[in-house]
C-alpha cells in the first residue's frame, strides 16, 4: 500500500513520533513472546502499523509480519528463518532419535 496516498490528522513530526512509540511498545511484546496484537480501526491506522512493522524489523534485526487479525486489530509475529524458506531449512536443526 502506498503510504503517500493516505491522509492523517497528524503532522509529519507527530506521525514519526507515534510510529516510534508504537514500535517500542509492540517491539517489546514481540521480544518477550514472539507476537503482539495492536488496535487498528481505520485504514490509516493499518497502514501506519505496516510501517511500524518495518521499524521493528530494523530494531530487532529479524523479519516481522503484520497482518489484520480482525476488523479492529493487527497481529505482529516474528517470522523465523525456517518459516520463511520452507520446511527443508529446519532439517539440519532436527534432533536424531
Query: Has residue 77 got a pLDDT over 50?
Result: yes
Average pLDDT rounded to a whole number, residues 71-89:
71
Average pLDDT rounded to a whole number, residues 60-71:
93
The answer to whether the beta carbons of residues 56 and 30 sit under 8 Å apart is: yes
Query: Has residue 13 got a pLDDT over 50?
Result: yes
Average pLDDT rounded to a whole number, residues 38-64:
94
Q: Is 74 helix (H, G, I), strand (E, B) or coil?
A: strand
Cα 74 from Cα 19, distance rounded (Å): 14
Cα 64 from Cα 52, distance rounded (Å): 10
Query: Has residue 70 got a pLDDT over 90?
Result: yes
pLDDT confidence of residue 10: 86
Average pLDDT rounded to a whole number, residues 19-38:
95
The answer to whether the beta carbons of residues 14 and 21 sit under 8 Å apart is: no
Question: How sure is the predictor about 88, in pLDDT bands with cuts at 50, 70 and 90?
Answer: very low
Amino acid at each position: 500500500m502506498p503510504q503517500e496516498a493516505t491522509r492523517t490528522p497528524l503532522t509529519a513530526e507527530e506521525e514519526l513520533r507515534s510510529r516510534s512509540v508504537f514500535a517500542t511498545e509492540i517491539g517489546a511484546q514481540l521480544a518477550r513472546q514472539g507476537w503482539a496484537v495492536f488496535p487498528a480501526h481505520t485504514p490509516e491506522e493499518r497502514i501506519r502499523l505496516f510501517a511500524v512493522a518495518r521499524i521493528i524489523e530494523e530494531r530487532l534485526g529479524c523479519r516481522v509480519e503484520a497482518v489484520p487479525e480482525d476488523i479492529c486489530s493487527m497481529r505482529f509475529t516474528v517470522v523465523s528463518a525456517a518459516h520463511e524458506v520452507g520446511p527443508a531449512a529446519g532439517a539440519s536443526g532436527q534432533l536424531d532419535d
